[in-house]
C-alpha cells in the first residue's frame, strides 16, 4: 500500500465507495451480535404500531457499515482517530426487497498529520446519515 500523506490527498477526492444490500436476515443477525433486540428492527406489526414506515435497520449497523467502507483504503482501522454522525433518516428494510445503502467517502479537509473524510450515506436516494465525518491519521 502506498503512503497516506497530505501531499497525496486533495479536498474533493473520492477515496472509497461501495453499496451494501441489507436484508431482514442481516438485521436479525446484527441484533444477535449487538444484543439490540428492539422489535422495530424485525417486526412489521410493532414498527407500524409505533408509527414507523416499516422495519428499520439499526442505527449502529448503518454507522458501522459506513465507516468500514474506508478501512481498505486506510490499510489499518487503527488510523481512525474520531468518527461521528447524525442520524437524519431511518433505513427502512423491506421484507422482500431489503434496502440498499450507498456510501461515498470524500476528502473533506487535510492537514500535515490528519485528514477528514466525509461520508455520504444514502438509502432509497435519501441521505440517512448527516455530518458523517471520520478523522484519520496520515503518515508523517
What's the rounded Cα separation, in Å, for the pair 1 and 21?
28
- Residue 9 CB neighbours (<10 A): 17
Q: Structure pTM? A: 0.94
What pLDDT was estimated at residue 3?
85
List, in sequence order, every residue forming a beta bridge with 122; answer none if it has no partner. 102, 127
Whether domain 6-137 has CATH 3.40.605.10: the reply is: no
Cβ atoms of 90 and 51 closer than 8 Å = no
Q: What is the pLDDT of residue 50?
A: 98
Contacts of 1 (CB under 8 A, 6+ apart): 75
Tens digit of pLDDT for each residue in 6-33?
999 999 999 999 999 999 999 999 999 9
> What is the mean predicted confidence (pLDDT) over 114-130?
98
Predicted local confidence at residue 1, as pLDDT: 56
Using CA atoms, how far apart are residues 1 and 7, in angstroms rounded to an integer? 16
Q: Taking 80 as the threshold, does the pLDDT of residue 140 lie above it?
A: no
pLDDT at residue 58, as a whole number:
98
Stated as kind and residue range, the H or E segment containing 59 is helix 59-68
Identify the DSSP state of 2.
-
For residues 12 and 136, what is the distance between their CA atoms, to the nearest angstrom? 16
What is d(CA 110, CA 11) in angstroms, rounded to the nearest whole number?
7
HSE-CB of 44 using CA atoms within 13 angstroms? 5
The three cell numbers locating residue 97: 426487497
Q: What pLDDT, in 10s, does the model give residues 69-121?
A: 999 999 999 999 999 999 999 999 999 999 999 999 999 999 999 999 999 99
Average pLDDT, integer, range 120-140: 96
Amino acid at each position: 500500500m502506498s503512503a497516506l500523506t497530505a501531499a497525496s490527498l486533495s479536498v474533493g477526492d473520492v477515496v472509497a465507495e461501495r453499496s451494501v444490500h441489507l436484508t431482514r436476515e442481516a438485521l436479525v443477525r446484527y441484533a444477535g451480535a449487538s444484543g439490540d433486540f428492539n422489535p422495530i428492527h424485525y417486526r412489521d406489526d410493532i414498527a407500524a404500531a409505533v408509527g414507523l414506515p416499516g422495519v428499520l435497520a439499526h442505527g449502529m449497523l448503518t454507522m458501522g457499515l459506513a465507516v468500514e467502507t474506508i478501512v481498505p483504503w486506510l490499510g489499518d482501522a487503527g488510523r481512525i482517530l474520531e468518527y461521528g454522525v447524525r442520524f437524519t433518516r431511518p433505513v427502512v428494510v423491506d421484507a422482500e426487497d431489503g434496502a440498499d445503502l450507498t456510501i461515498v467517502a470524500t476528502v473533506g479537509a487535510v492537514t500535515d498529520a490528519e485528514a477528514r473524510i466525509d461520508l455520504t450515506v444514502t438509502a432509497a436516494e435519501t441521505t440517512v446519515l448527516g455530518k458523517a465525518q471520520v478523522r484519520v491519521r496520515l503518515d508523517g
